Amino acid sequence: MNVGLSAWIIQDGNYGDFESGRIYRFALEFYPEDLSPSVATPTPCLRSAAGAHYDAVGAIIRATDSNWVIDFGVPTFQNSRPPKWAKQGLSVQGRIYIGIDPFFYFEGLKDKPGMPDLFREWRVRRILLETTPWTTSIDTHGRSIISRAPVAPTFKEVSKTDAWHDDKGNGHYILECDLQEVG
């Protein structure tokens, strides 16, 4: 499984730098890019699209006013108000991004009544540092906006993250992980 990781998550002290070949325990957060209810009730799955982006099918296993959890074959959460249509038991499908829990789950959500245990152990098989070029644009208020160029993403393999120095402290990584046995 490919899991996204932004350097700021490490810089904030939520995790140390990651190294290939080691096992880490963390929850996964999803970010919907184009997620909608599914008419059918298919088997949950994640099909890699690019980097940590997936074409996903899953079932909502928790929906509250402030967060929701979807099982895509591995349970993931989002720490924001779900869409009005999101109800427990509903199947969903669409494009998502999956990243490491920045801190929302381990600092508080895990203790909420009814919140499932989302922690899993993952062996980091390989680490990819994004090398897609940066581009600068100006917003409607005249401010500079720096973002990745609208081209196919590129990556280079690194043996460990260096959140303070990789890409001048703006690193984005893909951790290629293997789920360790649950239970």
The tally of domains found in the chain comes to 1
pLDDT value at residue 32: 93
Strand runs labelled E in 22-161: 23-26, 28-37, 45-50, 53-63, 68-71, 75-78, 91-100, 120-130, 134-138, 144-148, 155-158
3-state secondary structure (DSSP) of residue 73: coil
Question: Using only C-alpha atoms, what is the Rg of the chain?
Answer: 17
Residue 40: inside a domain: no
Positions in the chain whose pLDDT score sits under 50: none
pLDDT value at residue 182: 66
> Which range of residues forms the domain containing residue 134?
2-35+76-85+95-179
Residue 15: inside a domain: yes
Count the Cβ atoms, other than its own, within 10 Å of residue 157.
11
Residue 117: inside a domain: yes
Residue 12: inside a domain: yes
Nearest Cα neighbor of 31 from 10, 53, 5 is: 53
8-state DSSP, 87: -
pLDDT value at residue 108: 86
pLDDT value at residue 183: 55
pLDDT value at residue 120: 94
